[in-house]
């Protein structure tokens, strides 16, 4: 009986792999691996045979023939009479023979089965190693290709680096001086631009002042009687009234300051479409409302003020407050602004005007009334500089009048504080003072605060109410 044997000398995969690793290691240490050709790499694997060369017989054939026992025989006889006896005798003999032969055949079959399993497992391992070797070949080919590509890129980068070094040297020698010149030119232009802007701002302010004075000159020109136009050193007006435009320019302050002051009230009229400014004066509120997209119009009894506002393109009319309010539909206004007006009115006129304001306004909108603060002695002392002032109105009085005429959510806002350098100065809290001295300094400073509030309180206040 022939059997297939596998000797250890025929296949030793570990030894082969160790040999490959050692070969690669030696080549790397010698520095020649990176320059090896395709033929030299193939030589490393030339000693390795394929699994079919190592194991010539297929595992399926081996597995089907490892059992040497014969189970396909049959005992029979062609003799009709003696056949039965012969068959029985042969079975007895066959049974006795199997008692001695079957154990040996069983062991041989088991040995053959184990060898077949070992062979199959070895085949799988060899195939796996062979696949790994093939993968190594492929990886080495890729590495060689990548190595060549990297070499080419490195050479290209070196060439570009040399070019960049040359160009950078040229930049240093040629462009940098030009950049310095351009920077100096830009700085010089910026300085000139800054100076020109400041000059333009000054010129603009001068032009505005000249325009105002020219406008005032034209107003005064219209007031001088024709028969006195050729006479020099003659008064600029012939009537008994003062020029209120000139008066406001001197005592109320520039329009720019009033615009900043009114900016604190304009948000109450956001998105309004029909706001009335009673006593619009030089039109500061109307100009601010126009810039914010609020539709507002003004009235005033001073013709000079009306003419000035019209010269600014503002919507104004020469009308008395009560006359103007009577001509407006009830519940049509969505805002009323009255600044520095109520101190010019008699009590009866003021009450009538406030009642009309409530009638003409829509629900949920604001009325703002600003006037001089009589609680401040500093403000009260300057109250009668304006000859047209009738009497100051106490904040509580104005709040009461708004409340009784139907306004709600009434609040008071004080504004225009007196500069701190005008007020009384507090005593300094010096270090090293005794406890009693510190107490006296604190009392004095508290009294100074009270005196300052009475003497130098806010110059104006505003009462804000909602219908």
Question: 3-class secondary structure for the chain?
Answer: CCCCCCCCCCCCHHHHHHHHHHHHHHHHHHCCHHHCCHHHHHHHCCCCCCHHHHCCCCHHHHHHHCCCCCCCCCCCCCCCCCHHHHHHHHHHHHHHHHHHHHHHHHHHHHHHHHHHHHHHHHHHHHHHHHHHHHHHHHHHHHHHHHHHHHHHHHHHHHHHHHHHHHHHHHHHHHHHHHHHHHHHHHHHHHHHHHHHHHHHHHHHHHHHHHHHHHHHHHHHHHHCCHHHCCCCCCCCCCCCCCCHHHHHHHHCCCHHHHHHHHCCCHHHHCCCCCEEEECCCCCHHHHHHHHCCCCEEEEECCHHHHHHHHHCCCCEEECCHHHHHHCCCCCCECCEEEECCHHHCCHHHHHHHHHHHHHHECCCCEEEEEEECCCCHHHHHCHHHCCCCCCCCCHHHHHHHHHHCCCEEEEEEEECCCCCCCCCCCCCCCCCCCHHHHHHHHHHHHHHHHHHHHHCCCCEEEEEEEC
Cα–Cα dist 261/459, whole Å:
12
Which of 364, 339, 354, 365 has the alpha carbon at shortest distance from 285? 339
Of 166 and 18, more confident:
166
Q: What is the pLDDT of residue 65?
A: 61
pLDDT band at 288 (very low <50, low <70, confident <90, very high): very high
- For the segment 29-83, what is each residue's pLDDT rounded down to a tens digit? 776 555 445 555 555 555 555 555 545 555 555 555 656 666 666 777 677 767 7
d(CA 203, CA 209): 10
- What is the C-alpha separation between 286 and 337, in angstroms, rounded? 10
Predicted TM-score of the model (pTM): 0.49
Q: What is the pLDDT of residues 124-179, one digit of tens each?
A: 888 888 888 888 888 888 888 888 888 888 888 888 888 888 877 777 777 777 77
Structure tokens at 387: 């000859």
Distance CA 80, CA 66 (A): 39
Euclidean distance between CA atoms 14 and 19, whole angstroms: 8
Name the band, by pLDDT with cuts 50, 70 and 90, for residue 406.
very high
- pLDDT tens per residue across span 201-225: 666 666 666 566 556 555 555 554 4
């Amino acid at each position: 009986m022939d059997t297939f044997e596998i000797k250890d000398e025929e296949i030793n995969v570990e030894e082969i792999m160790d040999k490959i690793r050692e070969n690669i290691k030696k080549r790397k240490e010698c520095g020649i691996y990176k320059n090896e050709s395709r033929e030299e790499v193939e030589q490393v694997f030339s000693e390795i045979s394929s699994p079919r060369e190592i194991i010539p017989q297929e595992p399926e054939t081996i597995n089907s023939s490892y059992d040497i026992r014969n189970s396909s025989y049959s005992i029979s006889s062609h003799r009709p009479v003696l056949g039965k006896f012969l068959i029985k005798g042969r079975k007895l003999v066959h049974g006795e023979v199997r008692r001695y032969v079957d154990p040996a055949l069983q062991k041989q079959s088991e040995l053959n089965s184990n060898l077949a399993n070992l062979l199959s497992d070895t085949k799988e391992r060899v195939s796996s190693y062979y696949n790994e070797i093939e993968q190594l070949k492929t990886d080495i080919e890729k590495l060689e290709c990548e190595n060549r590509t990297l070499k080419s890129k490195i050479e290209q980068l070196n060439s570009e680096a040399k070019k960049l070094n040359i160009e950078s040297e040229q930049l240093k020698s040629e462009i940098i001086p030009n950049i310095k010149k351009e920077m100096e030119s830009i700085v010089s232009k910026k300085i000139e631009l800054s100076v020109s802007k400041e000059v333009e701002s000054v010129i603009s302010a001068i032009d505005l002042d000249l325009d105002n004075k020219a406008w005032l000159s034209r107003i005064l020109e219209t007031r001088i009687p024709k028969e006195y136009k050729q006479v020099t050193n003659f008064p600029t007006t012939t009537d008994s009234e003062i020029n209120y435009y000139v008066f406001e320019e001197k005592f109320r302050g520039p329009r720019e300051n009033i615009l900043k002051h009114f900016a604190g009230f304009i948000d109450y009229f956001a998105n309004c479409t029909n706001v009335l400014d009673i006593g619009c004066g030089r039109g500061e509120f109307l100009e601010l409302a126009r810039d914010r997209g609020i539709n507002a119009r003004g009235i005033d009894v001073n013709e000079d003020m009306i003419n000035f506002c019209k010269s600014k393109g503002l919507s104004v009319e020469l009308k008395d407050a009560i006359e103007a309010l009577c001509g407006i539909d009830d519940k049509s206004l969505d805002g009323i602004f009255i600044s520095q007006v109520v101190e010019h009115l008699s009590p009866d006129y003021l009450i009538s005007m406030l009642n009309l304001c409530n009638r003409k306004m829509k629900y949920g909108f604001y009325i703002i009334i600003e006037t001089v603060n009589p609680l401040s002695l500093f403000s009260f002392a300057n109250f009668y500089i304006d000859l047209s002032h009738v009497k100051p109105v106490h904040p509580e009085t104005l709040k009461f009048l708004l409340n009784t005429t139907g306004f709600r959510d009434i609040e008071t806002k004080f504004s225009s504080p007196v500069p701190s350098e005008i007020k009384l100065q507090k005593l300094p809290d010096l270090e090293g003072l005794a406890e009693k001295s510190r107490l006296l300094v604190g009392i004095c400073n508290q009294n100074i605060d009270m005196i300052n509030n009475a003497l130098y309180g806010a110059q104006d206040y505003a009462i804000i109410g909602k219908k």
